[in-house]
Structure 1
Amino acid sequence: MPPPRSSAAPTLAELRRLTESAGGAAGAAGPDAAPTLPFGVAGLDAALPGGGLALGALHQIHEGGPRGRYAATAVLFAGGILARLDGPVLWCLHSRDLFAPALARVGLHPDRVVYCETWRDAEVLPAMEEGLRHRGLAGVVGELTRMALTPSRRLQLAAEGSGVTALVVHRLCAGEAAEPEPSAARTRWRVAPAPPEGIDRRMDRRLGRPRWRLELQRCRGGAPGGWIVEACDAQGRLAIPAVLADRPAAPERVLRRAVR
């Protein structure tokens, strides 16, 4: 990972330079335009108002299971979303464990990311709010352990004002509740690794695009749901695993023979 910037001043200066060069194109649409980013997964897009993830809004992502403290899968999900948007990204760090090559594998090149050393929630929130004022950004990511209702409203209003998408990746600490607090976020997602099943165990060990269990826990104007998806590819796109896609079922005797 490229070394994060050591102070806020150089970070903001670089941010201004990058957003000026971007010309304010990303996120320039007002709230009436209601732009969205489709995931390309029919059932998932159908559950979201407008057929995709609302841009210029605040979204929460947290990871289920024992790895919630590191949120590696949640980080990749966020990276895949931002990979499909134009412009630089401001990433407010919780610690120095963000692995840039992993982000590159889901399509978010490290050269697009401005790293902001924040470390504490009290520093992350104002840094995110400042970043959301720069219209040329593809998005602003903040790694938080907690986010109360009032700060979430400030972030949502800032995102609506500039059209820049805000993503909060929750880094749960030991002893904390497994679910984030109520907030003003447009959506709340829970993502976790999903092990392959049945005949696909052997295939995934060799061909292995990882699988995620993706849950839309809350969506303003939408329908919560859950999906098994293949992890983001090098263009940041999700997919439905081949064995779960619509196709004729194989005869039962063939499946039994293949499992043996």
Structure 2
Amino acid sequence: MTAVREHVISDLRERIASLQGSSARKVGCLPFGVPEIDAVLPGGGLAHGALHEFAGGGGGTVDGAAAALFAAGVAARTKGKIVWCLTRPDLFFPAIAQAGLDPNRVIFVESDREEDVLASMEEALSYGGLGAVVAELVRLPMKASRRLQLAAEKKGTMGLVVRRWRRQTEANDFGQPTASTTRWRVSVAVSEDLPVPGVGRPRWLLELMRVKAGECAEFCVGACDDKGRIHLSTGPGYGSNSTRRSLNSG
């Protein structure tokens, strides 16, 4: 283990320990509150104590940012501090706040290498007492994903991996198998219409590409609001105008 990694992990241990308080293991799921989405997820939501993957529908930065905001919205609806592990400190705080995640809840852990990001995420998951642990990664090897899944199961903390590509060719790695419980792909769609001229609420195409003990599905949704909530939406290419269902946090 390098001196840099030792320093990062040691600092992370101290910061988590100071915030930990009760470390009761979380069980059950975090529902989206949208019946159509929760119905395809075993347990009726995203499982606590499990690893979940998010990626943009394309190799561009716009879809990648949407995937990060979707993960931020999920994290926002959990209870407790959030640890966010990354190699590039380029998160736009107003954007994640707009998705419902208060930056004051987040402990950012910056590393030079993805191996250190994986180590930091595993360490945070192993401590427990957190709302969620997020990591930004290009690749997620099967062996590493199993370690993260086991660490999440042990303490009941939700692990969220945001797959971010630096080059288009790296997006091919997203098709490789991992131990994640769910895998999502997020693509930016045409914004919702407003009754007056202007820019409507952003809209995403969510693709549930993999779910253990479940089936794949896709949904067109309104992007996360300031509570981390989404709602079912429709638009060009996604069916006729129908009643929109609001998403209440779980």
Residues 110-149 of structure 1 show CA distances to partners (whole Å, capped at 9, x for unaligned) of: 1110000114211111111100012210011111010111
Q: TM-score, normalised by structure 1?
A: 0.82
1:179 is displaced (CA, Å) by: 5.3
- Structure 1 unaligned blocks of 5 or more: 1-6, 248-260
1:43 aligns with 2:40: no
1:92 aligns with 2:85: yes
Q: Which residue does the alignment assign to 2:170? A: 176
| Correspondence for 2:183 among 184, 188, 191 | 188
Q: Where does 1:108-257 land on structure 2 (aligned, <5 Å)?
A: 108-174=101-167, 175-178=169-172, 180=174, 181-196=176-191, 200=193, 203=195, 206=198, 208-241=200-233, 244-246=241-243
Q: TM-score, normalised by structure 2?
A: 0.85
Q: Which residue does the alignment assign to 1:102? A: 95
Identity score, percent: 45
Instruction: Decide whether the 8 Å contact of 1:69 with 1:171 is kept in 2.
Output: no
Separation (CA, whole Å) in 1 of partners of 2:14 and 2:124:
11
Letter in 2 for 1:176: E
Distance 1:81 1:242, change over 3 A: same
1:241 is displaced (CA, Å) by: 2.4
Q: Aligned-residue CA RMSD in angstroms?
A: 2.1
1:65 is displaced (CA, Å) by: 2.0
Separation (CA, whole Å) in 1 of partners of 2:227 and 2:137:
26
| Correspondence for 2:53 among 53, 57, 60 | 60
Q: Which residue does the alignment assign to 1:257? A: none
Separation (CA, whole Å) in 2 of partners of 1:153 and 1:205:
49
1:163 is displaced (CA, Å) by: 0.2
Which has more radius of gyration?
1
Q: How many residues align?
A: 230
Distance 1:206 1:178, change over 3 A: farther
Letter in 1 for 2:165: L
1:209 is displaced (CA, Å) by: 1.2
